[in-house]
């Protein structure tokens, strides 16, 4: 059981899957991408289905290893903190946009597989939600709105930007970093972010 081969196979399988989907990710293509004989795949993983499952779990773990964007426990400068968070999240989503698009589109065929990829963004969303509540508690944000909807507003904008930017480039005539700044600036006014003196920014 060569572990070096195993890693290359998983990586290649994930890459081929995100480009072509379950049906397009043929065992021949994966073997070629991994620089490995096709028979080796079956000796290692038994079936194509198990191989893809292992590859997706590996990719999810790989993704999780890169530390997720974190918001501070104690808010000091909300706009600056959220901008940096938004920037990191945008880049992270943009990098694995193909994997996201593929898994999402295959949700209707095998929901459980797509569900495994739901957990990471769910934790990110919960992080933002908790941060907004902390802002409200400290008097740094208004309270006359639904914090869940506000979370969905920013999360959704970032998600849509990362996913559709390369498909409809004319609708995003600004860089990813500029997008983060703009979205957060608008979002801050939406939730009534105040500075430490209680003044609305």
Partner DNA sequence: GCGCTTCGCAAGCAAGCACTTGCTTCACCG
Partner DNA sequence: CGGTGAAGCAAGTGCTTGCTTGCGAAGCGC
Of 43-51, 86-94, 165-173, 190-198, the segment contacting DNA by CB under 7 A is 43-51
* Nearer Cβ to DNA (28/197): 28
Given a second copy, DNA, none, residue 85, with its beta carbon under 5 to 8 Å by kind, binds none
Q: Establish if 36 lies at the interface with DNA (CB under 7 A).
A: yes
Q: Establish if 27 lies at the interface with DNA (CB under 7 A).
A: yes
Give the shortest CB-22-to-a second copy separation in angstroms: 9
Q: Establish if 164 lies at the interface with DNA (CB under 7 A).
A: no
Given a second copy, DNA, none, residue 110, with its beta carbon under 5 to 8 Å by kind, binds none
Site residues (vs a second copy, CB under 8 A): 19-21, 23-24, 98, 101-102, 104-109, 114-115, 118, 121-122, 125, 145-146, 148-161, 163-164, 167-168, 170-174, 178-179, 182-183, 185-187, 189-192
Q: Establish if 2 lies at the interface with DNA (CB under 7 A).
A: yes
Of 46-54, 89-97, 132-140, 145-153, the segment contacting DNA by CB under 7 A is 46-54
Encode the chain in three state secondary structure.
Answer: CCHHHHHHHHHHHHHHHHHHHHHHCCHHHHHHHHCCCHHHHHHHHCCHHHHHHHHHHHHHHHHHHCCCCCCCCCCCCHHHHHHHHHHHHHHHHHHCHHHHHHHHHCCCCCHHHHHHCCHHHHHHHHHHHHHHHHHHHCCCCCCCCCHHHHHHHHHHHHHHHHHHCCCCHHHCCCCHHHHHHHHHHHHHHHCCCECCCCCEC
Of 36-44, 81-89, 160-168, 188-196, the segment contacting DNA by CB under 7 A is 36-44
Q: Establish if 48 lies at the interface with DNA (CB under 7 A).
A: yes
- From residue 47, how far is each of 26, 92, 183 by CA, in Å? 12, 31, 45
């Amino acid at each position: 059981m060569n572990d070096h081969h195993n890693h290359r196979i998983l990586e290649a399988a994930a890459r081929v899957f995100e480009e072509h989907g379950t049906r397009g990710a043929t065992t021949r293509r994966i073997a070629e991408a991994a620089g490995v004989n096709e028979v080796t795949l079956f000796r290692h993983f038994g079936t194509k289905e198990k191989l893809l499952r292992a590859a997706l779990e590996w990719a999810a773990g790989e993704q999780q290893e890169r530390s997720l964007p974190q918001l501070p426990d104690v808010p000091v400068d909300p706009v600056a903190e959220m901008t940096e968070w938004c920037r990191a999240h945008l880049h992270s989503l943009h990098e694995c946009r193909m994997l996201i698009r593929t898994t999402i589109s295959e949700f209707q065929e095998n929901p459980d597989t797509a569900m495994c990829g739901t957990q990471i963004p769910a934790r990110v969303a919960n992080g933002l939600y908790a941060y907004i509540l902390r802002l409200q508690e400290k008097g740094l944000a208004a309270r006359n709105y639904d914090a869940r909807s506000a979370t969905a507003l920013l999360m959704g904008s970032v998600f849509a930007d990362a996913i559709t930017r390369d498909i409809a480039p004319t609708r995003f005539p600004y860089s990813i970093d500029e997008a983060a700044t703009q979205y957060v600036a608008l979002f801050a006014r939406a939730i009534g972010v105040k500075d430490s003196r209680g003044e609305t920014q």
